[in-house]
Amino acid sequence: MKQFKSVFESEKEVLISYVMVGDGGFKASLDYARFLIESGVDILELGMPFSDPAADGGTILRAGLRALEHGTKLEHVFEMAREIRRFSQIPLVIMSYLNPLYQYGFEKVCGQMKAHGIEGIIIPDLPFEAGENYRQMAEQNEVKIINLVALTTSESRLEQIASASDGFIYLVAVKGITGTQVPDLEEVEQMSKRIKQYTDTPVVAGFGIRTQEDVKAFNKEVDGVVIASRFIELREAGKVAEIKKIIGI
Task: Report the catalytic residues.
Answer: 45, 56
Length, in residues, of the chain:
249
d(CA 99, CA 112): 17
Number of Cβ atoms within 10 Å of the Cβ of 198: 17
* E strand intervals along 21-110: 43-47, 92-95
- Phi and psi at residue 120, to the nearest 5°: -140, 170
Residue 111 half-sphere exposure toward CB, CA atoms < 13 A:
5
Phi-psi group of 90: left, alpha or beta (phi > 0 → left; psi -120 to 50 → alpha; rest → beta) = beta
Of the candidates 88, 192, 196, 193, the residue with the CA atom closest to the CA atom of residue 206: 192
The sheet with strand 169-172 has its strands ordered as 144-146, 120-122, 92-95, 43-47, 14-20, 224-227, 203-206, 169-172, 148-150
